[in-house]
Chains A and B, each alone.
Chain A
Amino acid sequence: MHSYRLTHLKELESESIHILREVAAQFERPVLLFSGGKDSIICFHLARKAFFPAKVPFPLMHVDTGHNFEETMTFRDDLVREHGVQLLVGSVQESIDTGRVREETGYYASRNILQTVTLLDTIEKYKVDCAIGGGRRDEEKARAKERVFSHRDEFGQWDPKNQRPELWNIYNGKKRPGEHFRAFPISNWTEMDVWQYILLEQIPIPSIYFSHEREVFDRDGVLYANSSFMRRKPEETPYAKSVRFRTIGDMTCTGAVDSPASTLEEIIAEVAASRVTERGSRQDDKRSEAAMEDRKKEGYF
C-alpha cells in the first residue's frame, strides 16, 4: 500500500476548493472580487476546479478605480471572454461623478481609499451576500487576524475584536438581511505558495508581472509607473527602466521593482531572495502603522 500524503500546495488547493464550494452552497448571490492581480486569478482558477465540469456558479466583480494598468484590463477582458463568465463592474469614477466620494488632490492623491465606498455600493446594488476575495493572511498584520468567512454588518464594517470563532472546516455564513460576508479561500497561502502554484499549474497572468521596459520615476524610494494619473513633483523626472510589478493594484499606489525576471522560475528565485515583503512597495499600507486595519474596518477588501 502506498502512503497517502498531499504536498502542502495540494493540501492548500484542497482547502481552498472546499471553501469555494461552501460559499456557493451557503450564499444566494456570491461574487468573486477580481482585480486582475495574481491572487484573484488564482481564486478564479481554483473556482474552475471546484465546480468542474460545471461552470463557476458566480460572477466576477471588479472595483475599477479607473487608474488601471492597461495590461491588466486586457487580461481581465480576455479571461472573461475565454471562460464565458459574467463580469460586474463598480466604477470609482462613477462614485466621484455622482458625489458619493470626493477625489483626493495633491501629489499623493490616490483612489485606493475611495474604492471602499464603490465596493460597498456595488455590493448593495447587486444584492451580493458574499464577496470572495484573494486576501491572504501573510500579506499584512491586520489580515493575519481575518476569518475565512468574515462577517460584515449592514454598514459593511468589520469588527476585528468580535469575530466568530471558526473551527475545523465548519464555516458559519448565517447573517441577517442587509449584512454580508467576505470569504477568503486562499487565506492560508503565502506569496511563495501563489507563485509556485502558478508555475505548477501554468496559470496565465498579466504581462506586467514580468520584466519589461517602462517609464518610471522615483518617489520616497519607490519606483512608480509614469502615468497621467499621478502628478509628478518638479524633481521627479521620468526615465526608462526594466521593471516588473510584484503586486498589482491601482497605478497610484503600486510600486514597481527593479528586476530582470522574465520567467516564473526567475520570479520565484527573486521572491525567495527578497528582503522586503510584497506589500513593501504599496503606498496604501504606509499611511500609518494600522493603515490596513483602519481601511478594513470600514469595509475595504
Chain B
Amino acid sequence: MSSTDGYLDMDLLRFTTAGSVDDGKSTLIGRLLYDAKQIFEDQMEAVARASAKRGSGELDLSLLADGLRAEREQGITIDVAYRYFATPRRKFIIADTPGHIQYTRNMVTGASTANLAIILVDARKGILEQTCRHTFIASLLGIPHIVFCINKMDLVNYDEAVFVQLQRDLESFSSRLEVQDIRFVPISALKGDNVVDRSTNMPWYEGPTLMYLLENIHIASDLNYIDRRFPVQFVIRPMTDEWHDFRGFAGRVAGGVFRKGDPVQVLPSGFQSTIKSIHIGEREAEECFAPQSAVITLQDEIDISRGDMLVGTNNLPQSAQDLDVMLCWFNERPLQPGGKYGIKHTSRDARCLVKEVKYKVDINTLRKAEGDNNIRMNDIGRVQLRTTVPLQFDSYSRNRYTGSVILIDEGTNETVAAGMIV
C-alpha cells in the first residue's frame, strides 16, 4: 500500500486567493484543479452544461468554483469558498475570496488561517486599488508567503517587459509592508501557462510554476514553537470509578511545546504547578506542541476554568486591560467610538470599550489618516480598547492565535471586526 503510506505522510498548506473583479481568480482555481486532475466527470459535465447554458463556447472553468446560485447568475464570487485538492506531496485547502470591495471582509477571513496568499494581478491593468488592499491585508494578517500571479499574460503577448515592470512596481509597494517571502509568477489561468505546466510561451521566465511553489514552499517554521501557550477550552472531569480524581484541561496548543514534568504558570491567577500528564485522544503522551489538541493534568489542585491559559514560567505573555489593535471592520454599522462590544480572545469571552481611534489607514497610500475616526465597513484602523478583565496576549506578529481578537455586536451577535494586537 505505497499510495496509502504516502498519503499518511503529507502535510497541509492553507492558501488564500485574492484578486480584483475579473482578474480570473475562479478560472485560476478551476485551472489548478483541472490540471492537477482533481476534477470529476460529473463536475465537468455540470460545468459543460452550465457553460452551454450561458452561451460561452469554451469550457468556463470559473463555474467550478462558484457555488451559490446568485454567484453563478451574476458571474461573481460572493462568499469565501473553501476548495480542496491534493498532489502526492501536499494536501491543499484554498480559501477562495471575492474581489469586490464590499466583500473584503471575506478576504480577511480567508487570510486569517492561510500560510500563503496568491494575489492575482491583471497584466493589462497593473496595480489597482484592490491589489494594494489585498497585499496590505495579507501582510496585516501575517501570511508568511505571498505569491503574485501576473495573470492574462496571453493578452499582452507574453511580453517579458510587462511582467518585469509589474514585478518592480509590486516590489516597491510591498517594501513598505512586513512580508517574509514574496514571489512572482507570470501566468495565464485561461490557457494554463505556468499554472501546473510550464509555459512554452514565456521561455524568458526561468522561475518555478505556481504549482511547484505551492508544493515546495517551506511552511514547517510558520508556527511559533518558542512561547508556550495553552488556552484552556474545557475542563474534563469524568467522575467515573476508573478516573475518579481526574481533572484535565482540554485545549489546543497555541504556541510552543509542553512536556510532562514542565513547570507551568496558570494565568490570570498566577499559580504555578507542574505538568503531571498529557493526553492526546486516548493516548498518553510525553509532550504536545502547536497546533495539537490535548488534555493536560497538573500536580496541584488549582482552580482553572475556560478562558484561563497555561504558559511556560520563563516566558509570560503580556497581561493588560488596555489593548492596541489593528482593527478590520466588517459591519454596515460603523465602529462607535466610546461604544461597547463583546470581545473574544482565544477561549475567553469579555467585553470591551472603544477608548480611542488613533488613526485610519488609507490603504491606497498606506498612510495614516490621523484625525479620521470613522471606521466603516472594510476600513482598517488602529484602535485602543479597554477590556472588562485583563487579557493575556502576545503581539499578533509573534503569535497569530494569542494575538488575535474578534469583536461582537452585543445587540445582533454579529462578528463585526477582527483585531490584531499590536
Q: Which residues of A contact B (CB under 8 A)?
A: 3-15, 17-18, 21-22, 24-25, 48-55, 137-138, 141-142, 144-145, 160-161, 163-170, 172, 174-176, 187-188, 190, 192-193, 196, 199-200, 265, 268-269, 272, 274-277, 280, 289-290, 293
**Which of B36-44, B121-129, B157-165, B195-203 has 4 or more CB atoms under 8 Å from chain A?**
B36-44
Known: A8-B12, A18-B252. 9 other contacts (CB 8 A): A15-B291, A21-B293, A53-B242, A54-B240, A145-B80, A172-B344, A174-B408, A268-B3, A275-B40
Q: Which residues of A contact B299 (CB under 8 A)?
A: none
B68 touches A4 (CB 8 A): no
* Contact A14:B408 (CB < 8 A) given known A53-B238, A172-B344: no
- Give Cα A51–Cα B408 distance, bound, in whole angstroms: 28
A164 touches B415 (CB 8 A): yes
- Select from chain B the residue with minimum beta-carbon distance to A12: B12
B250 touches A289 (CB 8 A): no
- Give Cα A175–Cα B414 distance, bound, in whole angstroms: 9
* Contact A268:B4 (CB < 8 A) given known A18-B233, A163-B79: yes
Pick from B43, B84, B238, B347: contact of A55, CB under 8 Å: B238
**Which of B101-109, B145-153, B179-187, B265-273 has 4 or more CB atoms under 8 Å from chain A?**
B101-109
B209 at the interface (CB under 8 A from A): no
B236 at the interface (CB under 8 A from A): yes
- Select from chain B the residue with minimum beta-carbon distance to A189: B84
Task: For the complex formed, measure the closest distance between the CB of B70 and the CB atoms of chain A, giving whole angstroms.
Answer: 7
A290 touches B69 (CB 8 A): yes
- Give Cα A176–Cα B42 distance, bound, in whole angstroms: 41
Interface residues of B in 1-38 (CB under 8 A from A): 1, 3-4, 7-12
Q: Which residues of A contact B223 (CB under 8 A)?
A: 4
Task: For the complex formed, measure the closest distance between the CB of A266 and the CB atoms of chain B, giving whole angstroms.
Answer: 10
Task: For the complex formed, measure the closest distance between the CB of A219 and the CB atoms of chain B, giving whole angstroms.
Answer: 16
Task: For the complex formed, measure the closest distance between the CB of B184 and the CB atoms of chain A, giving whole angstroms.
Answer: 28
**Which of B309-317, B351-359, B380-388, B399-407 has 4 or more CB atoms under 8 Å from chain A?**
B399-407
* Contact A172:B11 (CB < 8 A) given known A21-B234, A52-B279: no
- Select from chain B the residue with minimum beta-carbon distance to A8: B12
- Select from chain B the residue with minimum beta-carbon distance to A11: B12
Q: Which residues of A contact B404 (CB under 8 A)?
A: 167-168, 170
B138 at the interface (CB under 8 A from A): no
- Select from chain B the residue with minimum beta-carbon distance to A164: B415
Q: Which residues of B contact A188 (CB under 8 A)?
A: 82, 84, 93
Q: Which residues of A contact B347 (CB under 8 A)?
A: 22, 25
B252 touches A14 (CB 8 A): yes
Q: Which residues of A contact B9 (CB under 8 A)?
A: 7
Task: For the complex formed, measure the closest distance between the CB of A111 and the CB atoms of chain B, giving whole angstroms.
Answer: 24
B237 touches A54 (CB 8 A): yes
Interface size class of B (residues with CB under 8 A): 35 or more
B11 touches A176 (CB 8 A): no
A289 touches B236 (CB 8 A): no
Pick from B8, B80, B220, B295: contact of A9, CB under 8 Å: B8
Q: Which residues of A contact B236 (CB under 8 A)?
A: 51-54
B282 at the interface (CB under 8 A from A): yes
Task: For the complex formed, measure the closest distance between the CB of A15 and the CB atoms of chain B, giving whole angstroms.
Answer: 8
B293 touches A17 (CB 8 A): yes
Q: Which residues of B contact A21 (CB under 8 A)?
A: 233-234, 250-251, 293
A6 touches B291 (CB 8 A): yes
B12 touches A145 (CB 8 A): no
B220 touches A3 (CB 8 A): yes
Pick from B7, B67, B70, B414: contact of A164, CB under 8 Å: B414
B43 touches A277 (CB 8 A): yes
B113 at the interface (CB under 8 A from A): yes
B238 touches A138 (CB 8 A): no
* Contact A192:B86 (CB < 8 A) given known A50-B293, A167-B406, A272-B3: yes
B260 at the interface (CB under 8 A from A): no
Q: Which residues of A contact B7 (CB under 8 A)?
A: 192, 196
B330 at the interface (CB under 8 A from A): yes
- Give Cα A268–Cα B86 distance, bound, in whole angstroms: 14
Q: Which residues of B contact A280 (CB under 8 A)?
A: 40-42
Task: For the complex formed, measure the closest distance between the CB of A89 and the CB atoms of chain B, giving whole angstroms.
Answer: 27
Q: Which residues of A contact B66 (CB under 8 A)?
A: 141
Chain A to chain B contacts (Cβ below 8 Å), 13 pairs: A7-B10, A14-B252, A49-B282, A50-B293, A52-B295, A137-B83, A161-B79, A172-B406, A172-B408, A174-B408, A188-B82, A265-B4, A289-B69
B350 at the interface (CB under 8 A from A): no
B78 at the interface (CB under 8 A from A): yes
B172 at the interface (CB under 8 A from A): no
Q: Which residues of B contact A11 (CB under 8 A)?
A: 11-12, 291
- Select from chain A the residue with minimum beta-carbon distance to B342: A174
- Give Cα A237–Cα B220 distance, bound, in whole angstroms: 57
- Select from chain A the residue with minimum beta-carbon distance to B419: A167
Interface residues of B in 65-120 (CB under 8 A from A): 66-70, 72, 78-84, 86, 90-91, 93, 105-106, 108-109, 112-113
Pick from A164, A175, A196: contact of B4, CB under 8 Å: A196
- Give Cα A25–Cα B307 distance, bound, in whole angstroms: 11
- Most chain A CB within 10 A, of B40, B66, B108, B290, is at B40
B292 at the interface (CB under 8 A from A): yes
Interface residues of B in 214-266 (CB under 8 A from A): 220, 223, 225, 233-234, 236-240, 242-243, 246, 248, 250-252, 257
B400 touches A168 (CB 8 A): yes
Q: Which residues of B contact A13 (CB under 8 A)?
A: 281, 293
Q: Which residues of A contact B295 (CB under 8 A)?
A: 52
Task: For the complex formed, measure the closest distance between the CB of A145 and the CB atoms of chain B, giving whole angstroms.
Answer: 5
